Amino acid sequence: MESAYASSGNLAYADEYQERPEPVQRPAQPPLRALPSLPPAPQAGQDLGLPDRFTEDLILKTLYRIANPTPGGIAQAMRIPPGIVRAGLEDLKRQRWVETTAASGRLESEWQYRLTDLGMREAEHAFTRGRYVGPVPVPIQDYFTVLEYDSGVGAPDPVRLARALQQLVLARDVVAKVCLALTSGRPAMLWGAPGNGKTTILELCSEAIYGVTLLPYCVFVSGHVIKLYDELVHVAVEGDDANETSTTVDKRWVRIRRPFVFVGGELRHEDLDLAYDAAVGYHQAPPHLKAHGGLLAIDDFGRQQVSPHALLNRWIASLERGEDTMTLVTGERITFPFRSTICFSTNLEPKSMLEEAHLRRIPYKIRIPEPSPPQMAEIFRRFADAMNVAIAPGGIDVAVEMVHRASGGLSRSCHPRDVLQLIIEEAAFVKRAPVLEPAATRRACEVYFASDPGLLHAVYDGDEPGRVEEQA
């Protein structure tokens, strides 16, 4: 979704635009507060809290797949201390499943191992019992124990959110309502016509979420692996202690910034539960579980394949209870803590799609209004600067009027960006510099809105546009 410009038609906010404000700078990431401590490293195989057979199988499968078959390489792949790996390899050697291939003149940590013929067959059997290969999972009860000490919720920081929203063209009372709703930690809903910045507001929340929490790469429950860490969602935070090694802290855990999980119209009913992938041998956590301790944003609410009632029945009730129950592929049900801030964005009016019981459970419902003419003029001015489009005298006022007429009086905050983009593309086609002037604006509005904005005649004085008159 990234582009060369901001992702909506909004760049700053103010009630009136009498003077040109200074360009708004995005807030710099502040230094993080004291980082949470990782759990101490396990000292022996039994400290992993897993069945011996599972750990043995995982070493076999890792040795089958790994490119660097040393104790250090295996330990790094499994994220456990090398001493536990060496002890496991010795057990496998006694069963003649593993042999040393290079040991002379090297440190024991650099010895290389390989599977014997018996070991290859046993590794194949291990893959039939479970295909998971990766970091050693954490027992689910250990995960729950750590969660009990994490009382933080990923609501955006009020000051940082207010600064982030200064990039938007919104009235101050709207900004105040949005800040109150999104920093409350309670369910909120942004609603209104499309193109006025609701999605951008949610995206800016990710800049304002502050804090670090702990997350295991995956957890183990009833013989199954559930993957929690998602590199596409979570942002790992490195520790500031050089002594944090696999022999001192449990590397099966990772520090992450409090997550921001964004889902849209692609959300399906089955995405609300654990999803088992037989090809890789583990369950994938649903979005609201990945968002634990952070913010869960649901864009285009009401457009998903799953109904709004089903979504709210699942998430709002779970938030009230503070837990959610999910089902493993075997049918066994597991209850997880559920502590996240949840925010919906929708183009639909809340009362038209939700019943009273659901509306009551979403205390904050903020309408994002259409921009006024002065706000549209400011958006045009800001985007013209950002997109390097020159502005002819009177060009902004004409553009605001044209967009108003071509859209049937339904101006949106995204219209200036889109119209300017068409002007840029036309200018590139005819090999001239883009200029926001009446003729170019009219042509852009015709193709964008599929509507005639009305004929305008520009009176030129040399090469510079001058007075603009409407032609009858």
What are the pLDDT digits (tens) for 147-183?
877 766 667 888 888 888 888 898 899 999 999 988 8
Residue 34 binned pLDDT confidence (cut-offs 50, 70, 90): low
Question: So what's the pLDDT on residue 455?
Answer: 64
Please, what is the average pLDDT of the chain?
A: 83
Query: Between 460 and 336, where is the model more confident?
Result: 336
> For residue 398, is pLDDT > 70?
yes
Q: Which two tokens stand for residue 234?
A: 């979570």
> For residue 282, is pLDDT > 50?
yes
Owner of token pair 């063209």: 169
First to last CA, the chain: 43
Return all residues near 238 (Cβ < 8 A) that are at least 6 apart.
255
Return all residues near 107 (Cβ < 8 A) that are at least 6 apart.
none
Q: Which residues pair with 16 in a beta bridge?
A: none
Question: So what's the pLDDT on residue 132?
Answer: 93
139-153, 164-178, 328-342, 351-365: least confident range: 139-153
> For residue 416, is pLDDT > 60?
yes
pLDDT, average across residues 351-355: 84
53-62, 155-164, 220-229: least confident range: 155-164
Short-list 227, 77, 42, CA closest to 137: 227
Q: Which two tokens stand for residue 42?
A: 């396990």
Short-list 400, 15, 365, CA closest to 169: 15
> For residue 205, is pLDDT > 50?
yes
Residue 465 binned pLDDT confidence (cut-offs 50, 70, 90): very low
Question: So what's the pLDDT on residue 16?
Answer: 41
Residue 88 binned pLDDT confidence (cut-offs 50, 70, 90): very high
Percent of the chain with pLDDT over 70: 86
Please report the domains of the chain, with CATH numbers, ordered by start residue: 45-134 (1.10.10.10), 146-367 (3.40.50.300), 373-470 (1.10.8.60)
